[in-house]
Amino acid sequence: MNRQKRDNFIARILYILVGAVCGFFMIISADPEKLFGGGPKEFALQMALCMVLIFVAYFIQAIIHELGHLVFGLLTGYKFISFRIGSVMFIKENEKLRIKLYNVVGTGGQCLMMPPPWNENLKSALYNFGGCIFNFVSAIIFLALFVFMEKGSFLAVLSGMLVAVGFGNVLLNGIPLQVGGISNDGINALLLGKNPVALRAFWLQLYVNGLISKGERMRNMPEEWFFMPSGEDLLDPLICTVGVMKYNYFFDIHDFKSAELMAEYMLRAPGLLGLHKNELLCELLFLKIFRGAEPSEIDSLYTKELDKYIKATANYVSRRRLAYAYNLLYKKNLTMAEKCLAVFEKTVKTYPYSADIENEKEIVELIKAKAEIF
């Protein structure tokens, strides 16, 4: 069993454990007469309401988790960039807080912060573990409330589930795992503690994200920031991220030949995260379509697994661009391409990063020029 399968298996076991504990709290806190004393319809209704409360508990603890990253980030010198729960993102633009729509597959939320200027003693542990700390403390608080709360109410049931989900989040995020192609807080902290190059990569990822959120293009950043990982560094997911950023740099300066070579190079990296692998495969597919590669080359890349990922991330502005190029340049379906273009233009209106929008619009114009559409 490889690491990815092992970590996904562990995560599934933890989710089952959390569900079982939620069921335990439901039974000991609910009113037995209401839960078991009524007819089948009343029992089904009670169970349905309890299931809703589980989702509510996950939502509340997701907010608490991201607030932990925010608070401990601020305490250690980081600055607020964005706060996302689900697909709703609060992002700071020109000193104003704006609401945008954005989602990252495999994550329930994310708090991004701008790190302080680089130094070899960069504080990262509290920022990484801030979410787990808040989940743990909140679970203790909800457990105390549960003990003194009158049983038989759904508020008591919810408190118990918040305890279960809170402790579950501590385990799911604190135990070093790669789940759904994404490293959790625990594995990031573990890698940062072992390798100073990984710490630099972690800082660079956050710093570049901060600049992009302010409207800075990668093309205007120093190319030497984005070094090409090699040797043992290709085993480290955090360092591999720098290679992915180097691809993004080439793409932003429209050096598509170098971008394609960089994507192919990084796709061979053993430490590349599943999320980054899928993103690079999507980008490689676009680049091959754009340069007019042989149909067999394009079709072999467009696997069922990649198609599944493309559908799951269809709301990404880069996926809208890919769909437009695929239908216009490869399928030669002008009607479908026009529909894809309309969806692209709609997506950019709520997309949070103006720098990415600017580049994506430039790429769309290049696609039109390639197809001789003016």
Q: Which two tokens stand for residue 15?
A: 């989710």
Q: Which two tokens stand for residue 185?
A: 């807080």
Rounded to whole angstroms, how far apart are CA atoms 190 and 231? 20
Q: Enter the pTM of the model.
A: 0.87
3, 11 in Cβ contact below 8 A? no
If we measure between CA atoms, which residue out of 118, 120, 135 comes closest to residue 78? 118
> What three-state secondary structure class fits 358?
helix
Which residues, at least 6 apart from 139, have a Cβ–Cβ distance to it below 8 Å?
162, 163, 165, 166, 167, 170
246, 226 in Cβ contact below 8 A? yes
Residue 152 is predicted with a pLDDT of 67
Which residues, at least 6 apart from 347, have a Cβ–Cβ distance to it below 8 Å?
315, 317, 320
The per-residue DSSP string of 15-48 comes to HHHHHHHHHHHHHHHS-HHHHHSS-HHHHHHHHH
If we measure between CA atoms, which residue out of 49, 57, 45, 48 comes closest to residue 21? 57
Q: Please, what are the domains in the chain? A: 3-189 (no CATH), 226-370 (1.25.40)
Q: What is the pLDDT along the chain (374 residues), one digit of tens a residue?
A: 566 778 778 878 888 888 888 878 777 776 656 555 556 666 677 777 778 888 999 999 999 999 999 999 999 999 999 899 888 888 887 778 888 877 777 677 888 899 999 988 888 889 999 999 999 999 999 999 988 887 767 788 889 899 999 999 999 898 888 877 788 888 888 788 778 899 999 999 999 999 998 889 999 999 999 999 999 999 999 999 999 999 999 999 999 999 999 999 999 999 999 999 999 999 999 999 999 999 999 999 999 999 999 999 998 999 999 999 999 999 999 999 999 999 999 999 888 888 999 999 999 999 999 988 64
Amino acid identity, residue 42?
E
User: How far are the Cα atoms of 16, 114, 131, 210, 290 from residue 205, in angstroms, in the given order?
Assistant: 33, 10, 19, 9, 28
